[in-house]
């Protein structure tokens, strides 16, 4: 009778469980980001930047066109790109958003301290910088090619915004 290697079997089970958990976590993050992205497109459409995304679904009251476009884009990227690359791009994008939110909270609390706010951030002078530093630290560990992709997307976004968005923004026209 052959001797069983229980360590290899347990390691395979643990490895499979961790991979399944990572896949489930990545899937949930992508779904939440898709939901948020459709609302961002909708808000941008109300400002005149993406007018074709302003129509709401008649029954559900959700931004239907933005949902379909975002879903198709995510499905194509998810099907054509390696999952490790998708994970890196989702990570750097999410972390950058967190850095910007923390910076925004800090900046607004300093420059506009008397504005009424619907929520409070305790110890914002500690929480916001700590959030920015911790997110940047995690971003620092991502591969160089992920940073290059982020830079390219940001440059494309800036070009589009300054070529089209500044002239068509309702918010900009009200200044």
Res 9: pLDDT: 59
Using H for helix, E for strand and C for coil, what is the string for the chain? CCCCCHHHHHHHHHHHHHHHHHHHHHHHHHHHHHHHHHHHHHHHHHCCCCHHHCCCCCCCCCCHHHHHHHHHHHHHHHHHCCHHHHHHHHHHHHHHHHHHHHHHHHHHHHHCCCCCCCCCCCCHHHHHHHHHHHHHHHHHCCCHHHHHHHHHHHHHHHHHHHHHHHHHCHHHHCC
Res 35: pLDDT: 85
User: What is the block-wise mean pLDDT of the chain (175 residues), using blocks of 10 residues?
Assistant: 55 80 80 86 88 89 91 88 88 93 94 90 94 97 96 94 83 70
Res 36: pLDDT: 87
pTM recorded for the entire structure: 0.74
Res 8: pLDDT: 53
């Amino acid at each position: 009778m052959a001797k069983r290697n229980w360590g290899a079997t347990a390691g395979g089970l643990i490895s499979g469980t961790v991979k399944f958990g990572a896949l489930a976590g990545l899937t949930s993050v992508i779904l939440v980001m898709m939901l948020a992205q459709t609302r961002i497109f909708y808000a941008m459409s109300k400002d005149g930047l993406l007018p074709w995304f302003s129509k709401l679904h008649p029954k559900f009251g959700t931004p239907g066109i933005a949902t379909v476009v975002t879903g198709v884009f995510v499905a194509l990227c998810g099907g054509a790109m390696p999952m490790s690359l998708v994970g890196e791009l989702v990570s750097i994008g999410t972390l950058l958003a967190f850095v910007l939110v923390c910076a925004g909270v800090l900046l607004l609390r300093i420059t506009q301290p008397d504005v009424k706010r619907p929520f409070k951030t305790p110890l914002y002078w500690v929480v916001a910088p700590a959030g920015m530093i911790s997110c940047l630290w995690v971003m620092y560990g991502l591969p160089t090619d992920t940073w290059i992709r982020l830079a390219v997307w940001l440059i494309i976004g800036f070009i589009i915004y300054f070529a089209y968005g500044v002239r068509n923004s309702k918010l900009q026209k009200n200044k």
